[in-house]
Structure 1
């Protein structure tokens, strides 16, 4: 196996940073902010545990693709019973509608927080149209550059705010390293594992590493480092959000004034610069997530259609130019706009994270099956440690999904 060609450091960091930007988004921002307002940094250990498990799952996905040259969707279509791919496809349709609603609402909330002259629904529709235009006419290189810029601004601004409010570092380190469950924190822990680090967006990574020509076992180390960067950025951003949200009014945080409440707290502590820095970072986070989802998720549908028609594809450039890709992009950005009129942006994001939680146990189970077949993945099969981590993921995320389902039917 030839060694992979050397890439410039900035280029090599591309897929992981794009994944971090797409995966952080609305669910992470709202979950971490609400958690910080209610419990400060006392649940930082859950943030760390969550990103570790998400790293394990995404590394398993990438390892399957490096070993076989096929995406997870191709694996479902080619190697598993038909009912698996059909169920996955139906879930994708439902998830897509709610992720579209979640992100348009979150972007509307971010835009309205910066410039309240326009209502949330107008800002949400504008962001959706701009994201569609960037994906439709732009090549992957432009998309990647924009995503890197957004993730850089969002992390730096929120991290600077977190440092300037002078958190208790010793206490933060203790909360990260030693699990504790404050009273009434069970639901918050469920939200962290269900909402931090993305769910279906993890599948986008396979298409983005194709753009960077990463294939074969020789790229395994590079992919692991890249994913470590992605989830390291996710953890830093989430912890920083809990720090800046600590001390905020929890009742206000759960409503549409969430961003303004945190911004007001930072303005009182740091002056106007603190307010605008947070609002800018908040906007970058949710718009980067929208842009990443608008660019990455239509690949899933196009991949399904290509496999169903037994049409050979030549990487994701072919998929991106198909009618299936462009039609699904319009579906993702269009019909969910109707939910903007509901006027409950935070509720839309929370509902999306609940729906996304059902994907995680399915993914863990799939990777336990696929990546233990030596005749399929060869030397890249799971080891005992990875199998243990996947079993833990399956049990944990399965329990979360069942709990969320009970909450839905009991409410």
Structure 2
């Protein structure tokens, strides 16, 4: 549930919105492949944690060298700034769509600040249990509204089935396929899963089986959300960029079917972006707090074992929560294109790194044991994931920096 809620956000919605408007249903296969590759990565990091009792970040630092923690810290800080700005702007658009306050620019700025600070307070005060309950409600609204909107638009189900059975890729469709492959299911938020399953006390082989099951459900839901967005956007023409695509979609849905479905879609959009914001606000501080604990452990052999520390109660967690809630607000004035470009660059570097390190860590029998070691299928999927995200990242960056070619 938390994986689906945090991974499905404005990026998935906007990417699928563009793709569906331009190429229709032809790229449903890209949504399914993207979700499968993200499942592969998250299952790999969960299996490492079930085998060793340590998070993937601890595995990187303890097994691959202390230098990686400084690379990770730089990446985390930059990712937090850009992602925080992107999610805040998307929530501002969603709030403005549901309840405008003055002119559009002012309304979106106000709602951006309200959501950023509101999310900060909810995570600070409520703890993990309230977070779970809030996310459950948001996930229900997000999926129910968007999936229902897709069904009520009465799509051509034969065309949907045909796109699944007979996948195609024209040259002109390549940029949209790249966006769908890379944009489905989040990037850095995959690491959050390790801290959430630690909160539930999972371990060993039974924990690994449960992780495979709930990740399967999470990414099936993620894929259904992406397909629903393709179905919805295939019925409209989009000319704008950025998060306001959602408002264009809502308006055109309203013109085609009436105001009720417009409001339904807008509420689903708000649930998607605010649940993603809450998930990032709650999980990114875990990564920073874990980084500090690992740094202390390397300097002081008598320091507390990071795996035994309640990270959510540390001053580092609280400080980073305040930082990710407030600091990205300085980028509210950035253009949407600039934020998306920065986000694309970060994602292009992270996904191949994650796949490569899982190939190294989970194939070492002395580290994970025979029962948790990668078999031929996980290895094949990780190699495929590594190649796909290297190609997707390179093509996406080339397209963004040299759009005229």
The two structures have a TM-score, normalised by structure 1, of 0.92
2:26 is aligned to: 42
CA spacing shift, 1:158–1:350, aligned 2, 3 Å = farther
Matched, 1:287 2:274: yes
Give the Cα–Cα distance (whole angstroms) in 2 for the partners of residues 110 and 126 of structure 1.
12
Q: CA deviation at 1:355?
A: 1.9
2:58 is aligned to: 74
CA spacing shift, 1:54–1:41, aligned 2, 3 Å = same
Given that residues 18 and 292 in structure 1 are in contact (C-alpha distance below 8 angstroms), is that contact kept between their aligned partners in structure 2?
yes
Given that residues 344 and 397 in structure 2 are in contact (C-alpha distance below 8 angstroms), is that contact kept between their aligned partners in structure 1?
no
1:365 is aligned to: 356
Give the Cα–Cα distance (whole angstroms) in 1 for the partners of residues 387 and 380 of structure 2.
11
Q: CA deviation at 1:156?
A: 0.6
CA spacing shift, 1:407–1:246, aligned 2, 3 Å = closer
Deviations 1:329-377 (A, max 9, x none): 12212121111123x3465245424422321100000000000011111
Selected match of 1:397 from 389, 393, 396? 389
Given that residues 89 and 243 in structure 2 are in contact (C-alpha distance below 8 angstroms), is that contact kept between their aligned partners in structure 1?
no
Give the Cα–Cα distance (whole angstroms) in 2 for the partners of residues 214 and 274 of structure 1.
41
CA RMSD of aligned residues (A): 1.7
2:374 is aligned to: 382
CA spacing shift, 1:40–1:354, aligned 2, 3 Å = farther
2:134 is aligned to: 146
CA spacing shift, 1:150–1:353, aligned 2, 3 Å = farther
Secondary structure of the residue aligned to 2:394 is helix
Secondary structure of the residue aligned to 2:203 is coil
2:184 is aligned to: 196
Structure 1 stretches of at least 4 aligned residues deviating more than 3 Å after TM superposition: 313-317, 344-347, 404-411
Selected match of 2:261 from 274, 281, 285? 274
Most deviating of 388-397 and 180-189: 180-189
1:29 is aligned to: 13
Deviations 1:61-97 (A, max 9, x none): 1000000000011111111123322222211111111
Give the Cα–Cα distance (whole angstroms) in 2 for the partners of residues 333 and 257 of structure 1.
22
Secondary structure of the residue aligned to 1:376 is helix
Question: After the TM superposition, which residues 171-250 of structure 1 pair with which residues of structure 2 at under 5 Å, given as runs?
Answer: 171-250=159-238
1:352 is aligned to: 343
Give the Cα–Cα distance (whole angstroms) in 2 for the partners of residues 258 and 157 of structure 1.
17
Q: CA deviation at 1:177?
A: 3.2
For structure 2, which runs of at least 5 residues remain unmatched after alignment? 298-302
Given that residues 14 and 246 in structure 2 are in contact (C-alpha distance below 8 angstroms), is that contact kept between their aligned partners in structure 1?
no
Give the Cα–Cα distance (whole angstroms) in 2 for the partners of residues 113 and 345 of structure 1.
17
Given that residues 293 and 306 in structure 2 are in contact (C-alpha distance below 8 angstroms), is that contact kept between their aligned partners in structure 1?
no
Give the Cα–Cα distance (whole angstroms) in 1 for the partners of residues 42 and 338 of structure 2.
27
The two structures have a TM-score, normalised by structure 2, of 0.93
Matched, 1:322 2:319: no
Given that residues 199 and 357 in structure 1 are in contact (C-alpha distance below 8 angstroms), is that contact kept between their aligned partners in structure 2?
no
Selected match of 1:332 from 301, 324, 328? 324
Give the Cα–Cα distance (whole angstroms) in 2 for the partners of residues 260 and 316 of structure 1.
46
Secondary structure of the residue aligned to 1:357 is helix
Most deviating of 25-34 and 143-152: 25-34
Q: CA deviation at 1:218?
A: 1.8
Question: After the TM superposition, which residues 16-165 of structure 1 pair with which residues of structure 2 at under 5 Å, given as runs?
Answer: 17-118=1-102, 119-165=107-153
Give the Cα–Cα distance (whole angstroms) in 2 for the partners of residues 318 and 153 of structure 1.
31
